[in-house]
């Protein structure tokens, strides 16, 4: 392939971070090529249809929409031409085995009253808890999420100094579970806020209490639903990128990054060689080193950090409407500690899992035939270390149906009209996520933020990294931020 007149940037992988990076590099004036092994963009943020039901295949919660809005702003394009979303009035319905059902209203005052009426936690305590969550977010966001942790100049700022001075208030040195136990005396609400550890694939009994920044994303900033479904995030950003001149090359698998001296100069693919002045890998960082950079000495300490959890997902077409369910629903395990011990210590599944059900047809009725619902049913699972997944999936299905039958007082099996399953092996094969870990490294360490790979190479010039396996972490908001940090590291003139 001939070089363009403008400097060329090649991005490996059309995951959400790769797409965002392509937009940012196009705005910088580069000719951008995105290489994608699959026939579609989005990575985990994809969709599929099954017998008249539409399913968002991966991430199901949309928070921090400002990270998406910023891409349209810097591109000088009106977002309403491409993308629309709305704020949810009820974030999630939570079901407990004792019969308690908590509706997580987006309005903090209303949510606090809901909790006070149904648990032993006062409304004032909930408001204080969420105020502390906001404080932690405001301290950590400019230091840990918006900038590279691997450039010394980023530590010489007022925001960093403020973070250091408030370190003792961030609960870094005790677990999330212990933090929540001290603040909330009702075990139901402890479990409620412990669950936020799963947003980055971690264990609340190990991950530090600073992770209580996450509730602020939902209650402080808001939880949202894209009008056309989660996959419309991918579609809208691809359309924006293409309007900026970005070229997407599907079914084009990167094979090796060409290094000349200490510079990355291009990418060998199944469709030929793509020369470049800048290369950004959105591929999982472990695969990037082992498959694309075999000639380099890999940073084994970073690559061999413990991995995050994975998931088993059942996509079910359900031939009935369940009015008691909302867009997002959680059915808690009776024994949360034992569930996480099974996932992270025993590397298997607990017989009584916490179940998440996402039903987009509640907000987007055409996602299911009339009188039916599309259920995305997920449980947390260990990453793949060679378990007998066929047997574990079979057990999980039986346990999920038994639990939902009991808690919803239904007979679910005859209502399942179609089914598709995703588990750690298929997550790994379809998205190149090492061991099927959904978020790269786990955050079960108080130093986890510093144990993620940088967004640039310290060995090779012109080589950068984005996506959920590098700084600042996994999930849509952080992946979008990784693209910002990576492209900010690219010099204006090469």
For the segment 361-414, what is each residue's pLDDT rounded down to a tens digit? 999 999 999 999 999 999 999 999 999 999 999 999 999 999 999 999 999 999
Average pLDDT, the chain: 93
Residue 299's pLDDT band, with cuts at 50, 70 and 90, is: confident
Mean pLDDT of 423-431: 94
> Residue 290: its pLDDT value, please?
94
Render 450-477 in DSSP notation, one character per residue. Answer: GGSBPSB-SSSBTEEE-STTBTT-SSHH
Q: What percent of the chain has pLDDT over 90?
A: 83
> Residue 146: its pLDDT value, please?
63
Beta strand ranges found along 372-462 (DSSP E): 373-381, 416-422
Count Cβ atoms below 10 Å from residue 6 Cβ, excluding itself.
Answer: 14
Identify the DSSP state of 384. P
> Residue 292: its pLDDT value, please?
97
pLDDT of 481 higher than 80? yes
> Residue 450: its pLDDT value, please?
61
CA distances from 122 to 34, 186, 284 (A): 51, 10, 44
pLDDT of 416 higher than 80? yes
> Residue 494: its pLDDT value, please?
47
Report the SS3 class of residue 83: coil
Residue 256's pLDDT band, with cuts at 50, 70 and 90, is: very high
Mean pLDDT of 178-203: 96
> Residue 444: its pLDDT value, please?
81
Mean pLDDT of 1-13: 80
> Residue 147: its pLDDT value, please?
65
CATH architecture of 116-221: Orthogonal Bundle (1.10)
> Residue 153: its pLDDT value, please?
61
pLDDT of 160 higher than 90? no
Compute the distance between CA of residue 140 and CA of residue 210 in angstroms, rounded to an integer: 9
Q: Where are the alpha helices (DSSP H) in 166-309?
A: 176-183, 187-194, 214-216, 231-243, 285-287, 300-303
Compute the distance between CA of residue 466 and CA of residue 73 in angstroms, rounded to an integer: 21
Q: What is the dihedral of CA 344, 346, 348, 350, to 10 degrees?
A: -90
Report the SS3 class of residue 11: strand
- Cβ contact 359:376 at 8 Å: yes
* Per-domain residue ranges of the chain: 116-221
- Least confident among 10-24, 80-94, 449-463: 449-463
Residue 3's pLDDT band, with cuts at 50, 70 and 90, is: very low
> Residue 411: its pLDDT value, please?
98
Stated length of the chain: 494
Name 380's Cβ contacts closer than 8 Å, sequence gap at least 6: 198, 201, 309, 310, 311, 339, 343, 353, 354
Residue 443: name the closest of 423, 471, 476, 413 by CA: 471
> Residue 140: its pLDDT value, please?
84
> Residue 1: its pLDDT value, please?
43
Mean pLDDT of 57-73: 96
pLDDT, tens only, 67-120: 999 999 999 999 999 999 999 999 999 999 999 999 999 999 999 999 999 999
- Least confident among 151-165, 189-203, 243-257, 427-441: 151-165
Q: What percent of the chain has pLDDT over 70?
A: 92
**What token pair was written down for 315?**
């996509």
Identify the DSSP state of 79. G
> Residue 172: its pLDDT value, please?
86
pTM (two decimals): 0.94
Name 34's Cβ contacts closer than 8 Å, sequence gap at least 6: 10, 11, 13, 14, 18, 19, 22, 41, 241, 246, 247, 248, 249
- Least confident among 118-127, 177-186, 215-224, 293-302: 293-302
Compute the distance between CA of residue 378 and CA of residue 356 in angstroms, rounded to an integer: 5
């Amino acid at each position: 392939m001939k070089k363009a007149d403008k400097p060329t940037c090649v991005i490996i992988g059309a995951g959400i971070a790769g797409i965002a990076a392509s937009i940012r590099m196009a705005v910088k004036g580069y000719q951008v090529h995105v290489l994608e092994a699959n026939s579609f963009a989005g990575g985990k943020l994809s969709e599929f249809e099954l017998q008249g039901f539409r399913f968002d295949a991966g991430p199901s919660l949309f928070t921090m929409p400002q990270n998406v809005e910023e891409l349209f702003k810097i591109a000088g394009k009106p977002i309403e031409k491409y993308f629309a979303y709305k704020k949810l009035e009820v974030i999630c319905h939570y079901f407990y085995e004792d019969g308690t059902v908590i509706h997580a209203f987006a309005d903090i005052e209303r949510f606090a009253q809901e909790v006070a009426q149904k648990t032993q936690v006062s409304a004032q305590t909930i408001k204080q808890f969420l105020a502390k969550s906001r404080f932690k977010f405001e301290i950590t966001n400019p230091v840990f999420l918006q900038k590279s942790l691997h450039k010394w100049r980023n530590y010489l700022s007022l925001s960093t100094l403020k973070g250091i001075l408030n370190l003792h208030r961030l609960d870094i040195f005790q677990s999330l579970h212990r933090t929540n136990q001290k603040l909330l005396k009702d075990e139901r609400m402890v479990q409620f806020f412990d669950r936020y550890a799963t947003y980055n694939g971690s264990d609340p009994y190990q991950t530090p209490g600073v992770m209580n920044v996450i509730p602020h994303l939902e209650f402080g900033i808001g939880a949202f639903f894209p009008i056309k479904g989660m996959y419309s995030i991918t579609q809208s950003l691809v359309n924006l990128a293409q309007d900026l001149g970005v070229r997407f090359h599907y079914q084009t698998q990167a094979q090796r990054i060409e290094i000349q001296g200490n510079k990355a100069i291009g990418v060998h693919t199944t469709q030929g060689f793509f020369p470049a002045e800048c290369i950004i890998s959105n591929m999982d960082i472990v695969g990037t080193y082992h498959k694309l950079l075999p000639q380099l000495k890999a940073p084994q300490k970073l690559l061999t950090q413990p991995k995050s959890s994975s998931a088993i997902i059942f996509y079910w077409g359900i031939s009935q409407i369940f009015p008691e369910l909302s867009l997002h629903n959680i059915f808690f395990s009776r024994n949360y500690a034992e569930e996480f011990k099974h996932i992270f210590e025993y590397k298997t599944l607990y017989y009584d899992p916490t179940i998440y059900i996402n039903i987009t047809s509640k907000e987007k009725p055409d996602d299911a035939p009339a009188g039916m619902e599309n259920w995305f049913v997920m449980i947390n699972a260990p990453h793949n270390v060679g378990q007998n997944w066929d047997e574990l999936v079979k057990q999980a299905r039986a346990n999920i149906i038994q639990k939902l039958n009991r808690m919803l007082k239904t007979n679910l099996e005859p209502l399942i009209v179609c089914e598709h399953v995703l588990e750690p092996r298929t997550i790994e094969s379809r998205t190149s996520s090492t061991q099927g870990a959904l978020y790269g490294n786990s955050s079960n360490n108080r130093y986890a933020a510093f144990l993620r790979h940088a967004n640039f190479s310290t060995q090779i010039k012109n080589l950068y990294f984005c996506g959920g396996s590098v700084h600042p972490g996994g999930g849509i908001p952080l992946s979008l931020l990784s693209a910002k940090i990576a492209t900010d590291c690219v010099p204006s003139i090469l």
